[in-house]
Amino acid sequence: QSVLTQPPSVSGAPGQRVTISCTGTSSNIGAGYDVHWYQQLPGTAPKLLIYGNNNRPSGVPDRFSGSKSGTSASLAITGLQAEDEADYYCQSYDSSLSGYVFGTGTKVTVL
């Protein structure tokens, strides 16, 4: 049911940089709709992490950054920390569905 595709998992050692891709189509990301990212810590509700492709809400560390190009987007985490271990979801809007679409989700593991 997920319209946006993400890798199931990524991992890295503390201090490393990891990236998560989010691939869409010409009716969502490729149509110019912004991409947003959510962090979901174990057992908790999703939390807005990045909005409008590359903007961080107040309180989100600048270790998190986003980018978008064509029909894809990416989330980068630099200086990986143990507390970053969570599931991450991208989200956009789809004109053909006239609704909001989420990614398949990526589990980040800190080695």
Partner 1 sequence: QITLKESGPTLVKPTQTLTLTCTFSGFSLNTSGVGVGWIRQPPGKALEWLTLIHWNDDQRYSPSLKSRLTITKDTSKNQVVLTMTNMDPVDTATYYCAHRHRYVYYFDYWGQGTLVTVSS
Which parts of this chain interact with partner 1 (CB under 8 A)? 1-2, 33-34, 36, 38, 44-48, 51-52, 57, 89, 91-93, 97-105
Residue type, 24: G
- Tell me the β-bridge partners of 18: 77
Beta strand residue intervals within 1-111, DSSP E: 9-12, 18-23, 36-40, 47-50, 64-69, 72-77, 86-94, 99-102, 106-110
Q: Given the complex with partner 1, which of 30 and 51 has the nearer CB atom?
A: 51
Nearer to partner 1, 16 or 96 (CB): 96
Closest to partner 1 by CB, 64 vs 102, is 102
CB of 38 to partner 1, least distance (A): 8
Q: How far is the CB of 50 from partner 1 (least distance, A)?
A: 9
The token duo for 9 is 């998992």
Please report how close the Cβ of residue 34 comes to partner 1 at its closest, in angstroms: 7
